[in-house]
Amino acid sequence: MEDLRTKRKGKILAVKDLPTLPPVLDEITKMIEDEHCTPKQIAEVIAKDQVLSAKVLKMVNSPVYGFPRRITTIQHAIVLLGFNVIRGIIISTSVFDVMSQAMVGLWEHSLGCATISKIIAEELGLKDPEEFAVAGLLHDIGKVVIAIQLPEEKEEIQKLVAKEDITYLEAEKKVLGFGHDRVNSWLADHWNLPLPTKVALTYHHNPESAEFYEKFAKIVHVADFITKVLEIGNSGDELLNTLSKKDFVDIGLSFKKLAKIMDRVLEDIIEVLTFIPK
C-alpha cells in the first residue's frame, strides 16, 4: 500500500498540463488579443478560473522569478508577471478534451466558494479579502489534478460515493489512501504557494488541525459548507457535512453577520454564475 501511495503521489506531482474549460479559455484569449484590455480586467477573469489561477500563482511563486511563496493574489501576480508572460501561460494552456459534467460542477463549486470566502472576509473586516478569495477558489484543486493524473481512480471514487453512504473525501481515502486535502498540501509545496494559501488548501476539511493561519482554513471551511448548502455547482459530494456553531463562532461570525453574509451571497452569486459556461 505504501508503495502504491508513493507511486500515486509521484504521478500527481508530475502533472505537467493542467487543462481548463473551453469557454473560459475562449473568453480570456479574446481578452488578451484586445489591445485595450487592462491587467485589472484580465485579473478579474483569471480569478474566476481555478486552473488558470493556480497556473499564474505557480508561475509567479516559482524560483525563476526570485521571490517564491510571497504572492497570494491574482492581481499582484499579474503585475509581477506582466502581459507577455500571462499571454504565454494562456496560449500554452489546453482545454479538457471532453467537457465533463463533473468538471463543470466542480468549477462552479470552486467559484462559488471563492465568492463566499471573499464576502465572509469582507464582512469580518479582514485586511486582504482577495487572499481569501484565492484560497476559496483553489480549495479543491487537488480534485482536478486527481482527475487528470489518475482518471481511473477518479471513476472509482465517484462510483463509491454513489454506492455507499460516504463523503467524497472518505471515498478518496478508501480508493487512493489519501484525500484531495493531502494532494493540495503536496501541490502547494511543489508549486511554492504562500503559506496562508497552503493552510487553507490543506485544512479546509479539518481547520482545527491548522497550526497557524487557521483563519484561512476556517473561513474556507465555512464558505465550502455554504456553497454546498446553496447547491452552487457540485463538489462531487452527495452528503452534506455538518457544521458546528463553533465553526461560526471561531471566525467571529454572529448570526446577525451571517444573515448579512447570506444576503450578499445571494445577490452576488447571480452575477458570478452568469459567467458559467453552459
Residues engaged in binding Fe ion (CB under 5 A): 140, 224, 235
245 belongs to the binding site for another protein (CB under 8 A): no
Q: How far apart are CA 27 and CA 16, in angstroms?
A: 23
Q: How far apart are CA 259 and CA 241, in angstroms?
A: 20
Cβ distance to another protein smaller for residue 51 or 176: 51
80 interacts with, out of another protein, Fe ion, none, CB within 5 to 8 A per kind: another protein
Q: How far apart are CA 264 and CA 211, in angstroms?
A: 31
**3-class DSSP assignment, residue 20:** strand
85 belongs to the binding site for another protein (CB under 8 A): yes
Tell me if 199 sits within 8 A of 217, measured CB to CB.
Answer: yes
The helix (H) or strand (E) run that includes residue 258 is helix 255-273
Torsion over CA of 213, 135, 268 and 250, rounded to 10 degrees? -30
Cβ distance to another protein smaller for residue 89 or 146: 89
66 interacts with, out of another protein, Fe ion, none, CB within 5 to 8 A per kind: another protein
Cβ distance to another protein smaller for residue 138 or 265: 138
101 interacts with, out of another protein, Fe ion, none, CB within 5 to 8 A per kind: none
Half-sphere exposure in the Cβ direction for 39 (13 Å, CA): 13
Residue 153, C-alpha cell as written in the block = 481512480
Q: How far apart are CA 276 and CA 48, in angstroms?
A: 9
140 interacts with, out of Fe ion, another protein, none, CB within 5 to 8 A per kind: Fe ion
Instruction: Show Cβ contacts of residue 81 under 8 Å, excluding neighbours closer than 6 positions.
Output: 56, 59, 60, 65, 89
Pick the binder of another protein from 19, 22, 23, 39 (CB under 8 A).
Answer: 39
Closest contact distance (angstroms) between CB of 233 and Fe ion is: 9
Closest contact distance (angstroms) between CB of 54 and another protein is: 13
Closest contact distance (angstroms) between CB of 237 and another protein is: 32
Pick the binder of another protein from 6, 40, 41, 91 (CB under 8 A).
Answer: 91
Binding site for another protein (CB under 8 A): 16-17, 39, 58-59, 62-67, 70-72, 75-76, 79-85, 87-89, 91-94, 194
